[in-house]
């Protein structure tokens, strides 16, 4: 089945008792047992809830995997993966990561004796040289947040396979519509479902998908043991979001492409980071491994200072100044002081996140209205 059909149908069929076309929302924390330990598959909603099951199945189907797990945030999903590791293990990670992921690695897991090497993931030699005897996990985002760097998933997968390393791909920026990491050889795909999957900026949620039974068992154990699980209403909202993911992604991609071209041609803009532009260093890989270049882009003004960026950020009206991304509405943000503030400045600068970098989450409004909004803000800079 094509992904657009899966978006509409994945995870459920009409409900057998009443014939309801949409799955009911099961507001229950617990389930009656016929005898101690005898039940119909659900005993307590931290371990499982039918509304969550439907969503987890839908997510797994969309990512082409066999096991899906949903969490009460993207960070809850990241944490469940890291908890599969033990003291002494080593992780190779992409150097440009969402600030919260970087913070969890450095501030929560390093002190538990897990070590990390942050690298650019730009070549086989670079990745090979970062691998140590104790390397258990490789963590990449592609395209990255916020510099839109593209990492070759198939290359990482083949190196990881050779060394018996689990490859995790944070697929948040692409969404399952534009990129399928499991098909390219990744072992786990991770999502902040708060973003494109939810799609309407009205929930916080994370997701993991794998086709590896042993990994699935470990992730399920961490999910139910730690308990960062979403409630049934959020699961329903996420499922409802997924039903239009294919249509929304098409609009996000078309609008972002037009805005990238507009910004690239603008005299007050010096650099545009968007994998859909032929000049982007990751354009070739993105063309191979993505079916569209996404709705996220970043750029720098010709006078690339924090003050000038601030003038721009206060000058947009349609692009609302806010963290997060992937909703129907357009957002603008300043990674250095917002989403990536927890990364020390010198490391942030080394990773290409300058003080003046501006990030756009391009929504599904009319492209010309969005461009007009950007033009107004640029004229004030
Ligand atoms: O916010 P949460 O649902 O917990 O997801 C964390 C996360 C993980 N991975 C990526 C690539 C992300 O972008 C995020 C969250 N990002 C933002 C809030 C942001 O504005 O970039």
170 an active-site residue? yes
- Would you state the pLDDT for residue 372? 98
Residue ID of nearest Cα to ligand 1 atom 12:
98
- pLDDT at site 354: 97
Structural domains of the chain sorted by starting position, each given as residue range(s) with its CATH number in brackets: 3-242 (3.40.640.10), 245-379 (3.90.1150.10)
Give the tens place of pLDDT for each residue, 202-240: 999 999 999 999 999 999 999 999 999 999 999 999 999
Residue 226 CA to ligand 1 centre (angstroms): 20
Q: Measure 378 CA to ligand 1 centroid, in angstroms.
A: 27
Residue with tokens 């995870």: 11
Residue with the two structure tokens 């890989």? 285
Taking the model in full, what pTM does it have?
A: 0.98
**Tell me, what's the pLDDT at 32?**
98
**pLDDT on residue 64:** 98
How long, in residues, is the chain? 381
Are β-strands 67-71 and 296-301 bridged in parallel, bridged antiparallel, or unpaired? unpaired
pLDDT in tens, 246-299: 999 999 999 999 999 999 999 999 999 999 999 999 999 999 999 999 999 999
Q: Which of 192, 234, 238, 342 to mutate to test the pocket of ligand 1 (most atoms within 8 A of CB)?
A: 192
CA 91 to chain centre: 19
Angle between helices 306-313 and 367-379 (to 10 degrees): 130
- Indicate the DSSP class of residue 106: I
Determine the residue of 98, 205, 322, 336 to mutate for testing ligand 1's pocket, defined as the one with the most ligand atoms within 8 A of the Cβ atom: 98
User: According to the model, what pLDDT value does residue 248 have?
Assistant: 98
- Options 31, 43, 46, 310, the catalytic residue: 46
Which residues form the pocket of ligand 1, taking CB atoms under 6 Å from any ligand atom?
Answer: 73-75, 98, 100-101, 141, 145, 170, 172, 192, 194, 204, 206, 323-325, 339
Ligand 1 closest atom vs CA 78: 8
Q: Which of 3, 195, 248, 359 is catalytic?
A: 195
pLDDT at 172: 98
For the chain, what is the mean pLDDT?
Answer: 97
* pLDDT attached to residue 120: 95
- ∠ CA 343-345-347 to the nearest 5 degrees? 70
The rounded percent of the chain whose pLDDT value lies above 70 is 100
Mean per-residue pLDDT pooled into runs of 10, the chain (381 residues) = 97 95 97 97 98 98 98 98 98 96 97 98 97 98 97 98 98 98 98 98 98 98 98 98 98 98 98 98 98 98 96 98 98 96 94 96 98 98 95
**Pocket perturbation via mutation, ligand 1, pick of 59, 71, 72, 74 by most ligand atoms within 8 A of CB:** 74
> Which pLDDT score, from 0 to 100, does residue 143 have?
98
């Amino acid at each position: 089945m094509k992904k657009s059909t899966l978006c509409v149908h994945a995870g459920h069929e009409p409900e057998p008792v009443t014939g309801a076309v949409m799955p009911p929302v099961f507001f229950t924390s617990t389930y009656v047992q016929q005898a101690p330990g005898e039940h119909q598959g659900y005993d307590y909603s931290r371990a499982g809830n039918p509304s969550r099951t439907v969503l987890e199945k839908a997510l797994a189907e969309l990512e082409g995997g066999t096991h899906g797990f949903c969490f009460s945030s993207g960070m809850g999903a990241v944490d469940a993966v890291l908890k599969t590791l033990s003291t002494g293990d080593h992780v190779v990670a992409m150097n440009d990561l969402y600030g919260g992921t970087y913070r969890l690695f450095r501030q929560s897991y390093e002190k538990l004796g897990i070590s990390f090497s942050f690298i650019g993931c730009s070549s086989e030699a670079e990745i090979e040289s970062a691998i140590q005897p104790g390397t258990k996990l490789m963590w990449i985002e592609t395209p990255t947040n916020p510099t839109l760097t593209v990492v070759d998933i198939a290359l990482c997968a083949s190196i990881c396979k050779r060394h018996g390393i689990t490859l995790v791909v944070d697929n948040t920026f692409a969404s399952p519509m534009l990129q399928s990491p499991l098909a390219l050889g990744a072992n786990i795909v991770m999502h902040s479902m708060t973003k494109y999957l939810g799609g309407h900026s009205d929930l916080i949620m994370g997701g993991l998908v794998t086709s590896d039974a042993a990994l699935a068992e470990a992730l399920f154990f961490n999910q139910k043991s730690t308990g960062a699980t979403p409630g049934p209403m959020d699961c329903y909202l996420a499922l409802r979001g997924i039903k239009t993911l294919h249509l929304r992604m098409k609009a996000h991609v078309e609008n972002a492409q037009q805005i990238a071209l507009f910004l690239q041609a603008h005299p007050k803009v010096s650099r545009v980071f968007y994998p859909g532009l032929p000049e982007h260093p990751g354009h070739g890989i993105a063309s191979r491994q993505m079916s569209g270049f996404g709705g996220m882009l970043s750029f720098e003004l010709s006078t690339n200072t924090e003050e000038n960026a601030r003038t721009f950020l206060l000058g947009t009206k349609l692009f609302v100044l806010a963290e997060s991304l992937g909703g129907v509405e357009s957002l603008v943000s300043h990674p250095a002081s917002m989403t990536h503030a927890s990364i020390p400045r010198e490391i942030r600068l080394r990773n290409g996140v300058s003080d003046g970098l501006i990030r756009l989450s391009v929504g599904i409004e009319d492209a010309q209205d969005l461009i007009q909004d950007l033009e107004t803000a640029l004229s004030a800079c």
